[in-house]
A and B are shown apart, each in its own frame.
Chain A
Amino acid sequence: MTTAAAPSPFPEALKNAFVTALIALGLAAPMMGLVTVQVGGDLGLEPHCPRVAIAVALVFVGRLILNLTIWRPGRVKKVTAISPKTERLLSKTARYLAPAAVAFAIILPFLPGVGRGQIDLGILVLTYVMLGWGLNIVVGLAGLLDLGYVAFYAVGAYSYALLAQNFGFSFWLCLPLAGILAALWGVMLGFPVLRLRGDYLAIVTLAFGEIIRLVLLNWQWFTGGPNGIGGIPKPSFFGIDFKTGPDGFAATFGLTFSPLHRIIFMYYLILALALITNYFVIRLRRLPIGRAWEALREDEIACRSLGVNTVNTKLTAFALGAMFAGFAGSFFATRQGFISPESFVFMESALILAIVVLGGMGSQFGVAVAALLMIGGFEWFREFQDYRLIIFGLVMVLIMVWRPRGLVSSRSPSVFLKEKKAISGSLVQEGHG
C-alpha cells in the first residue's frame, strides 16, 4: 500500500470535530448556560456564557486531537491495549511488588514526615482495599454482580454498635459476631435470588441494599434513625486501653502518652484485617470451591453440565464476601465512633464495585492499586469537592471504554499441566451466565 497517495486527514478531522462541538453546544447551552436561580420567591434564569464556551472549545480541541492521533483513519487497531508480553511482565513485577507494598504499608507510620493525616488516609485506603478484596470474591471470582455490597458493611457496623451499646460487648468479641451476622444476611439475601443472572441479580442486590438502608433510616427506636448511633467504644490493645492513667497503653509499655498511639494501632488493625482477607481469598482460590467460583464466572452452563452445584457455590461466595464486609463494617464503626445510614448509600457500593472492576476483576493486586488510586485521588481532589464526583463518573466510563477488563486483567490458572501461563483477560471469551 502506498501511503503517499492518502489524502490529508486534516479537513475530515476538522469537520468531524466541528460537528462534535455543535452537539456539545446543544448539550451544554441549556444545562450549563442557563442556571435556574431563585430571585425573591420566583425562579429565574441566569446566563453563564463563558463556561459553555469553555466546554465547547474543550470538546472541539479534544476531538480534533483525537481525530488526528488515536482515531486517525487507517490506523491499525491493536487487539489489546497492552500486549500480552507487557502484561506478563506486569504480573511478574506484581509478584515482587506486592511484598514490597506490604513492607511499605508496615513501616508507613514510622516513616519521617508521616503525620496523623497520612495515617488516617492510610486507614481509609486500607478499609476500601479490604472491602474491595471482600467484594472480589463475589464479583471477581464468582462473577456475580453485587450492587448492594454496602448493606453487609452496614450490617457489620450496626451489629457492633448495637451490641456494644446494649450489652456492652467489647470490640474483639463483636468482630467475629459481626462477620457471622453479615454472612448470615448474605445467605438470607442470597438464597432467593440466586436463580437470577447478570443484570437482574445486580438490580436485585441494589434493591436489597436500599431496603436495608431504608430500614436503618426508619426504624427509629432500634437504630436511632437518621441520627445514627454515637459513642461507639474504641478497641483496646488486648485488654489495655489507650488512656493516660497508670494502666493505660503508654504507661504499661513505658512510653509517653500520645493520642497518636491509638491511630497507629487502628492502622495496624485494619492492615492486619486486610491482609487476612487477602490471605483467605488467595487460599480460597486454590480450593475446589474457588475453582468452582472461577468456572462459574467463565461459563455457568458449562459449570452446571460438569456437575458443579451452582447454588452452593454462589451462596458461599455471597456469604464469604458478606463476612469480610461485616468485619470491615465493625472496624468502620469503631474507628468513626459514630455511624448513621448516611454512610451506607448506594454511592459506596458503586465505589467499591468500581475499585474491583477497575482493578481488574479477580486480581488482588489490581484491586489494591485501584483502591489506592481512587481513594487517594478522592482525597487529592478534596478542594474540588463539587467536581470530583463528575470526574469519578467520567473516569469510570473512560476506563471501561479503554480497558473493559480492568487495569490488571491477566488470568492465571490455579491448576496447570507443565507450566503456569497467565493470559490476558481480553483474550478470554466469556460464556453465558
Chain B
Amino acid sequence: MLRLPNERARPSFGRPPPTQETPPADGVFRPALVNGVTLGSIYGLIAIGYTMVYGIVGMINFAHGDVFMIGAFLSLIVFLALTSIGITFVPLALLLVLFVAMALTALYGWTVERVAYRPLRGSFRLAPLISAIGMSIFLQNYAQVTQGARFKPLPPVVTGGHKFGAVDGFGVNISNVQIIIVLLTVALMVAFTLIVSRTNLGRAQRACEQDRKMAALLGVDVDRTISLTFVMGAALASVAGLMYLLYYGVVDFYIGFVAGVKAFTAAVLGGIGSLPGAMIGGLLIGLIETFWSAYFSVEYKDVAAFSILIIVLIFLPSGLLGRPEVEKV
C-alpha cells in the first residue's frame, strides 16, 4: 500500500503552547480571548497572501501554506545561525531573523510563481490549481527530506509576561510573545495598507485586480506586479512563520497544510481580495478556534473551523467585506 506522510501526534494550532501556564483564577474566557487574538494575527498574516493573490490572479495559491512552513523553518535556521556566530542579544537577533527570513522566503515565493504559475497564465482554469497542489506536495517533502521529519523544538526565546487589570484575580496574563505578535501584526498591517493605497506598486496591483488586460494596455507591467504580489505574500507568511516558531516553539514540515486551509478560510470569511477583510477573518477564525477548544472539545476544533468555511461560502459567498462576484459572459 502507498505510504504517504500523514497524521502524527503533533502540537497544533489553537492549543495553548506548552510553555505557557494558565493561572486558574483567570477562568477560561480571558486566556481564550488572548490566545485567539494571537492565533488570529498569525492566520491573518497568512491570509493576506491568499487574498492578494486571489484578488489579482484569481487562483488559490495552494502552496502558500507551505511557503509559510518554509518561512518558519528559515526563521529557525537563521536564528540558530545567528546564535552560532555569537549574536545572542535577543531583540537584535529577532530583528535580523525577521528581515533575513523575510527576504529568503520571498525568494521562495517568487520562484514558486515563476516556475509553477507564470507558464500557466491564460491556460485553462484548473491547470494552475493542480500545479499549485503539486508545488505544495513538493515543498512539504522538500522540507521533510532536507530538514528531517522530526519536530524541531526551540526553547522559548522570549520569556516573561505581564498581568493586566489585576483586580482580585480578575486579571489576565499576557506573555511578551503575544504582545510582540499582536504589535508586529498591527505594524505590518498598517505598512501594507499604505503600500497598497499609496505607492505605485499598490496602484498597479489594484489596476491588475480590476482589469488585467486594460492595465497591461496602459503600461502596467502585469508580470512584474504579480511577481511582487507573491513576494509580498511570502514575506508576510514568513513573519507568520517566525511568530509561529516563537509562540509554539516547535516546527515541522507538516504545519503548512492545516494552517494554509485555515488561513484560506479566514481570507474567504473576510471577503477575498480585501486586506482588512483577511485580518478580520483571521481574528475571527482564531477566536472561534480557541473558544471552541476552551468550551467544547479540542479534537473537533478543526472541524469547527472547516465548517465555518462551508457555512460562510454557502450563505455569504462574498465574505464580510468582499464585493459580490459579477458574472460576465
Contact = CB atoms under 8 A, between A and B. Distances in A.
A395 B134 contact: yes
B146 A32 contact: yes
A113 B131 CA distance: 39
A218 to B, nearest CB: 4
B152 A36 contact: yes
A18 interface: no
A343 to B, nearest CB: 8
B80 A386 contact: no
A34 B148 CA distance: 12
Contacts of B78: 30
For chain B, give the interface size range.
35 or more
Contact of A400 (B7, B131, B306): B131
Contact of B107 (A26, A195, A346, A348): A26
A178 interface: no
B125 to A, nearest CB: 6
B180 interface: no
A394 B60 CA distance: 18
A394 B4 contact: no
Contacts of B144: 386
Interface stretch (B19-27, B69-77, B225-233): B69-77
Interface stretch (B111-119, B191-199, B273-281, B285-293): B111-119
A43 B153 contact: yes
Nearest to A349: B133
A357 interface: yes
Nearest to A218: B299
Interface residues of A, number: 73
A211 interface: yes
Interface in B257-309: 257, 261, 264-265, 268, 297, 299-300, 302-303, 306-307, 309
B303 A211 contact: yes
Nearest to B311: A192
B77 A23 contact: no
A345 B111 contact: no
Nearest to B139: A393
B261 A393 contact: no
A401 B154 contact: no
A393 B141 contact: yes
B60 A396 contact: no
Contacts of B329: 301, 432
A226 B133 CA distance: 26
A37 B147 CA distance: 8
Contact of B80 (A36, A147, A343): A36
A192 B310 contact: yes
Contact of A36 (B76, B135, B302): B76
Interface in A187-209: 192-193, 195-196, 198-200, 202-204, 206-208
B163 interface: no
B77, B142, B146, B300: most-surrounded residue (chain A CB, <10 A): B146
B326 to A, nearest CB: 11
B143 interface: yes
A272 interface: no
B138 A36 contact: no
A341 interface: yes
Contact of B133 (A348, A350, A386): A350
A387 B146 CA distance: 10
B310 A195 contact: no
B127 A200 contact: no
Contacts of B218: none
Interface in A34-58: 34-38, 42-45
A229 interface: no
B77 A215 contact: no
A399 to B, nearest CB: 8
B137 A204 contact: no
Given A124-B2, A207-B261, 9 more contacts: A31-B74, A38-B150, A43-B154, A203-B309, A214-B299, A214-B302, A385-B3, A404-B120, A405-B124
21 contacts: A26-B107, A27-B107, A37-B148, A45-B77, A45-B80, A193-B314, A206-B261, A207-B307, A217-B7, A218-B300, A342-B6, A385-B3, A387-B145, A389-B4, A393-B139, A397-B115, A397-B134, A400-B120, A401-B116, A430-B124, A432-B329
Interchain residue pairs A-B with the least CB separation, the first 6:
A396-B134, A393-B138, A393-B137, A404-B127, A207-B306, A400-B131
